[in-house]
Amino acid sequence: MTYTVAIILGGHMNQDFHERRSTPRSRVFFGGEILIDADLRPVECHVKNVSNGGAHVVVQSGDLLPDQFDLIIRKTNQRHRAVVTWNNGRQVGIAYRPSSSRDEKWSLASMLQKMLSGANA
């Protein structure tokens, strides 16, 4: 689905802007965490807007983020597997990815299972 949005640039409306997102985003200001690896501390972030397909987050430095990570939105207690679609320094656009068997290492359940099976061995 594509829809047209009027954008005001320099006091003039730009009717030619075409939104490329498949779902509209809602403006929010939620605290969040970016989980890169189980051995690393989470990266604090602010979620600026969300949709069913992705989000816009602000971090201290987006240059240090990998292309894929897990995003936890504290307000909604949602966890999303994310892939970076654009990075503008501190501001980062992400798309949510469905989990797959290849992403098993990112799954909390699989990490717990591995920990428990190691303890029982």
Enter the DSSP assignment of 120.
Answer: H
Dist. CA 20–CA 73, nearest whole Å: 24
Query: Which domains are delineated in the chain?
Result: 24-102 (2.40.10.220)
Query: How do residues 76-117 score in pLDDT, each as one tens digit?
Result: 999 999 999 999 989 999 999 987 655 444 455 555 566 677
pTM of the shown model: 0.65
